Structure 1
């Protein structure tokens, strides 16, 4: 309950009640509200502009920014690790893989090439940490490009390796008759005495003496090009096209175990030793062609002979004796 105030009226010599005017009461209230609002506004301005005073939102943003900087630092360290591993792979790729498969090394300027043209990072400019963000993005883009270059290189190496594997499987690389089945190496590649004319004649293959019916093995992967007796002097014979310019010939066979057009693998039994055609005794006459030219088969037995066995067969093949065909 509000207090009632009085004043002394000297004219009437009595106390009269003080009547408050409504206009003054409203004006007083209005001034109070304006004063409070003005004071609040001034306080807010001071609060926002004093450097030592931070709003909760500013504090949250600062914490978020600090966390972002930590994450970018961790990201850069991880990129350092990835780059170290990638550099090692690139080094092995250039100096081992590509060298082995006779492919040209990838130039360093291709591996480390940047990005020209328009500014790819324009949208990242204008922020407090733009430099950090742009630098990290540039590193990530360069590493990504290096990975793409390396990936394509390994794809190329995979194709070369597959082709190399096919080449190694195709080259005639084993002895066509096993050592345990051999009676002897009758004659090697070179000048020999003809068994029929006794004249000195060049012998273009190697003769492996074995009993009639001894298995003969394909010396490399390939396709049977011929399996017939329609070649002068060879009798029943087989020719295998190994691809890559290599052909192997097996002559004087007793019988065949394959037919023309058949694909064979190294080590498959293709026929059996005989004495057909121009032959003096059961044996296998074996030849190798490279790009249509006969070459010495002695250089192609590394697939199933030990060094000692190879030296022994080399010495026997170099003896100028009488051939069997």
Structure 2
């Protein structure tokens, strides 16, 4: 029977203090030794590569976590700024509605203010797909908010341009609309609406706004006009009525001193008198009424700015 590997022997000589030592290997034994060495070397390389891969993974994971924390912090800062801008735009929308009333223009429908926002821009999708899901979600929400704010700003710009065009052609009527608080300070007390009368305890309509304020506080004309009445009557005490034209009139009651006379023309912001406690009054305050074509209005709807401005 023939052997697959010819019978050959290899001798390794090694000199020692005791003499020369010989180690005999057959060809088969040598191949087995080499194969074992190769296997051990491969295993060593494999485990070394695996350890290196784990090390690199942990390094990249740590770096990613640090970057994620930084991105998250920046996103929170951006969200805070967007929330602030949104509150500012909301304030502008409220002023826009007030100015539209002031200019005699219809308000903007809420459906128009809540304009639909389009989808995320496709060219950004590849970039966003490579981000962590949490970051991706936050970026999508922020982009939505930014686009919504942009649309709101554009809508307000268009609205103010329309208001400006309207105001330019109707200055006289606008100057006649009561649009400032009649006193700079004070506490809003009994408001427009039904209430129990403090004297006879009967439920009746209170046609104005009471502002609790110290006696002697200046009272300002809320719009241009002409003094129709400026004298003392039983219930109102010292009082003033101004005819502003275009259907608007205002009444000021319980004043301590009057600084205008009947028939006098006044401008918005002029001092017309001083608060007090005259007439049917329980404490120092100003009773203020706004009328439009003879119908009492809620004065708070006409508090567009502070007094004298």
The structure richer in strand per residue is: 2
* TM-score > 0.5 by shorter chain: no
Band of TM-score, shorter chain: 0.3 to 0.5
* Larger of the two Rg values belongs to structure: 1
